[in-house]
């Protein structure tokens, strides 16, 4: 089973996160941030990951610590669940339409964490959610999963649609990357022999 459980306990957040890469897309999310709950549910559903997240954060300050720390925990969980990376496909990408928005996510389970986002979110908030936190989430994820993560936005003028398209594309791209390649079972997917 390619699973992981992360417990993160700081002065700002208390997080328990469980991930099964080979799940059915079941999500049980309670972050204290409704919009993030929605995005993580979409990510899990489109990636076919079973994901449980419980977070008690200092949302009385704002959602920043909660969003960033969940990105950290999810990145750590992905890294732990894929283990030595033998047999994985390694790369994944998805161009996803969400109404007028069109967003591409491409990623490489490279061992070199980096986030390269080109999302142009037109509003500062969606409901009470600060849209600048989308980048903070993905930066934290990419660093802790050691993933090279790119987003390109081809179209879109509705902030909710752009962000939703990004999270759905992220789930589908990660699903493709962590999939076991039947042609390379037991092999590291790199000509260097290491990732």
Residue 195: which residues within 8 A CB-CB, separation 6 or more?
Answer: 85, 90, 109, 110, 111, 188, 189
pLDDT tens-digit profile of 120-179?
999 999 999 999 999 999 999 999 999 999 999 999 999 999 999 999 999 999 999 999
b/e burial code for range 68-102 (CB count within 10 A of at least 16 → b) = bbbbbbbbbbbbebbeebebbbbebebebebeebb
Tell whether the model's pLDDT for residue 193 goes beyond 80: no
Q: Which domains does the chain have, with CATH numbers?
A: 3-178 (3.30.230.40)
Over range 77-98, report the average pLDDT.
Answer: 97
């Amino acid at each position: 089973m390619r699973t992981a459980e992360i417990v993160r306990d700081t002065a700002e957040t208390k997080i328990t996160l469980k991930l099964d890469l080979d799940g059915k897309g079941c999500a049980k999310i309670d972050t204290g941030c409704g919009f993030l709950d929605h995005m993580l549910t979409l990510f899990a559903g489109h990636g076919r990951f079973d994901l449980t997240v419980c977070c008690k954060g200092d949302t009385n300050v704002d959602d920043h610590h909660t969003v960033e720390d969940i990105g950290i925990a999810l990145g750590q969980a992905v890294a732990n669940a894929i283990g030595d990376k033998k047999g994985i496909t390694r790369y994944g990408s998805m161009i996803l339409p969400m109404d007028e928005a069109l967003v591409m996510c491409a990623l490489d389970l490279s061992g070199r964490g980096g986030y390269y986002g080109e999302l142009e979110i037109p509003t500062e908030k969606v409901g009470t959610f600060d849209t600048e936190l989308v980048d903070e989430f993905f930066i934290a994820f990419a660093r802790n999963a050691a993933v090279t993560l790119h987003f390109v936005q081809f179209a879109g003028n509705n902030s909710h649609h752009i962000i939703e398209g990004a999270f759905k594309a992220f789930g589908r791209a990660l699903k493709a990357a962590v999939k076991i390649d039947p042609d390379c079972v037991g092999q590291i997917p790199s000509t260097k022999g290491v990732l």
